[in-house]
């Protein structure tokens, strides 16, 4: 019986996270109220506050939930697209292009969150920064495994290309920015190959 109650509560919590994620993706964080989230999730406002003490706590849960799933999916897709680490560095941009072409692309949730919660040291900002850092560390590990020179610097340059392409895809409603970023990435990768 306790197990069933735990599953039901967990299910309500996940419903709230998924509903909030969908709403935040479409319209941002500050414009979405808890009434809209609870209505979208099909639960009462009391249930929402049973699982989350505040809207900020819900935003943090959404960002962590999204980060874990999107980063794992991203890395898995990169690994499937290429056999070795150097090819995977370019495959990163193919995966990004697929994301831009997906029906649910509406820009970067983390950049949006940092724009709405700019206070240095704020929990929401910290979660966003951590996500970006973990992606950069993954790219750095690919560069290291490929034996490329100055893997950290290269990973930071590639992150600039990724982040810029995300912004341009959102602004221009086009996936071409990923294609252009990949061309630039090729040049950076080639210049990092050991002589």
55's CB contacts (< 8 A; 6+ apart) are 34
Do 131 and 110 belong together in one domain? yes
Which helix H or strand E contains 40, and what residues bound it? helix 34-41
28 with 83, same domain: the answer is no
Same domain (yes/no): 42, 135: no
Q: Are 25 and 104 in contact (CB under 8 A)?
A: yes
Does residue 14 sit in the same domain as residue 106? no
Dihedral of the CA atoms 10, 67, 137, 122 (nearest 10)?
-100
Q: What is the pLDDT of residue 120?
A: 87
pLDDT band of residue 111 (cuts 50, 70, 90) is very high
- Domain check: are 40 and 129 in the same one? no
What's the pLDDT score for residue 10?
57
Q: In the prediction, which pLDDT does 11 show?
A: 87
Domain boundary among 27, 52, 77: 52
Measured CA to CA, the distance from residue 93 to residue 144 in angstroms comes to: 18
User: What digits encode the pLDDT tens for the residues 132-168?
Assistant: 999 999 999 999 999 999 999 999 999 999 999 999 9
Whether residue 143 sits in one domain with residue 48 = no
Domain boundary pick from 32, 52, 72: 52
Do 155 and 84 lie in one domain? The reply is yes
Longest dimension (CA), the chain: 65
- Summarised one tens digit per residue, pLDDT across range 4-51 is 334 445 589 999 999 999 999 999 999 999 999 999 999 999 999 999
In the predicted model, what is the mean pLDDT of residues 83-96?
97
Tell me: the pLDDT tens digits for 40-80?
A: 999 999 999 999 999 999 999 999 999 999 999 999 999 99
Clarify whether residues 153 and 92 are in a common domain.
Answer: yes
Q: Per the structure, how many domains does the chain have?
A: 2
Whole-prediction pTM value?
0.88
User: 120 and 175 in one domain?
Assistant: yes
Q: Which domain holds residue 14?
A: 1-52
């Amino acid at each position: 019986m306790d197990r069933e109650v735990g599953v039901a509560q967990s299910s309500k919590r996940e419903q709230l996270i998924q509903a909030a994620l969908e709403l935040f993706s479409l319209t941002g964080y500050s414009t979405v109220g808890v009434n809209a989230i609870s209505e979208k999730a099909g639960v009462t406002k009391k249930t929402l506050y049973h699982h989350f003490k505040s809207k900020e706590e819900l935003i943090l849960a959404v960002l962590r939930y999204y980060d874990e799933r999107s980063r794992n999916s991203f890395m898995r897709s990169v690994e499937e697209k290429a056999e070795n680490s150097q090819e995977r560095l370019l495959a990163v941009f193919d995966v990004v292009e697929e994301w831009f072409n997906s029906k649910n692309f509406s820009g970067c949730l983390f950049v949006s969150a940092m724009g709405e919660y700019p206070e240095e040291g704020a929990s929401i900002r910290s979660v966003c920064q951590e996500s970006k850092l973990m992606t950069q560390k993954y790219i750095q590990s690919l560069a290291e495994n490929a034996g490329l020179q100055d893997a950290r610097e290269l990973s930071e340059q590639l992150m600039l290309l990724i982040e810029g392409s995300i912004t341009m895809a959102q602004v221009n409603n086009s996936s071409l920015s990923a294609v252009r970023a990949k061309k630039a990435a090729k040049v950076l990768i080639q210049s990092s190959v050991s002589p």
